[in-house]
């Protein structure tokens, strides 16, 4: 009996996803990442849960549809998104962008948003608006929770959203509905939500010291391949704030 080539590829993709998601998350976590912090709000706990539920739901939907190629795309797209986001976390931790609004470290970009958005973008890329738009709304709410709880700046959420969108377009055939409109709308909603908070520490403004710390970013991004539809210019736009 011939063995399907899809199953080993799917298993390999799942292993890659776990190695780029759970292991870095455990390394960066302060304590148990699966246990809510004392006094954490319901919105924060919601964001903590949805960062896992959205990508797992995307994988589950592809399996329920007996779509092994779709499962591989979900796993590979999320692995690419999360590997990129964790590398950026380590790279920027020694700069102003590594400081969280609440004083913590490893701020840029948002790992919660990257995980949630990779699931949403995978569904949008593979199955179109019927699955993608509800998932994008949920992923946007995760970004709102991170900004509202002073865990991330808007720029952190914006960068993760761009990474997830670009990664989804790099693996497999992208659905025509996977345009820049969804990610831009998501970032705009999170920014508008952040602007309603009286505490402006998570807003766009940078001090002169901050600007000096992140000045090399645009130069570094210019060395990267342009990728899907201008991901580098999009990240350079984020770096301008």
For residue 2, being part of any structural domain is answered with no
Residue 49 is part of which domain span? 10-28+40-205
For residue 224, being part of any structural domain is answered with no
Tens of pLDDT along 177-232? 778 889 999 999 999 998 886 555 445 444 444 544 444 444 444 444 444 444 44
For residue 233, being part of any structural domain is answered with no
Number of domains observed in the structure of the chain: 1
Q: What is the pLDDT of residue 116?
A: 96
Average pLDDT value for residue range 131-136: 94
For residue 231, being part of any structural domain is answered with no
pTM (whole model) above 0.85 = no
pLDDT over 90, % of the chain: 50
Instruction: Annotate 116-184 with DSSP letters as a single string.
Output: HHHHHHHHHHHH-HHHHHHHHHHHHHHHHHHHHTTSS-HHHHHHHHHHHHHHHHHSSPPPTT--SHHHH
Q: Is the pLDDT of residue 79 over 70?
A: yes
User: 169 pLDDT band (50/70/90 cuts)?
Assistant: confident
Four-residue CA torsion sign, 35, 40, 45, 48: negative
Average pLDDT value for residue range 57-70: 93
Average pLDDT value for residue range 56-75: 92
Encoded tokens for 79: 């692995």
For residue 210, being part of any structural domain is answered with no
Which of 138, 89, 97, 148 lies closest to 118, judged by CA?
138
The rounded distance, in Å, linking the Cα atoms of 186 and 118 is 13
For residue 115, being part of any structural domain is answered with yes
For residue 211, being part of any structural domain is answered with no
For residue 227, being part of any structural domain is answered with no
């Amino acid at each position: 009996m011939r063995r399907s080539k899809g199953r080993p590829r799917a298993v390999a993709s799942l292993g890659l996803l776990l190695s780029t998601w759970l292991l870095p998350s455990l390394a960066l976590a302060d304590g148990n990442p699966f246990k809510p912090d004392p006094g954490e709000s319901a919105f924060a706990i919601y964001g903590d849960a949805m960062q896992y539920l959205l990508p797992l739901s995307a994988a589950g939907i592809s399996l329920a549809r007996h779509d092994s190629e779709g499962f591989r795309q979900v796993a590979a797209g999320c692995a690419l998104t999360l590997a990129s986001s964790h590398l950026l976390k380590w790279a920027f931790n020694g700069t102003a962008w590594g400081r969280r609004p609440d004083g913590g470290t490893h701020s840029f970009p948002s790992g919660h948003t990257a995980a949630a958005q990779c699931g949403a973008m995978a569904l949008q890329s593979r199955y179109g608006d019927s699955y993608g738009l509800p998932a994008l709304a949920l992923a946007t709410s995760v970004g709102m929770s991170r900004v509202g709880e002073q865990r991330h700046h808007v720029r952190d959420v914006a960068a993760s959203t761009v990474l997830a969108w670009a990664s989804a377009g790099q693996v497999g055939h992208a659905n025509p509905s996977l345009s820049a409109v969804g990610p831009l709308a998501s970032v705009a909603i999170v920014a508008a939500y952040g602007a309603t908070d009286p505490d402006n520490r998570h807003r766009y403004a940078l001090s002169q010291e901050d600007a000096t710390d992140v000045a090399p970013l645009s130069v570094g991004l210019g060395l990267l391949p342009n990728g899907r539809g201008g991901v580098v210019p999009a990240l350079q736009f984020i770096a301008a704030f």
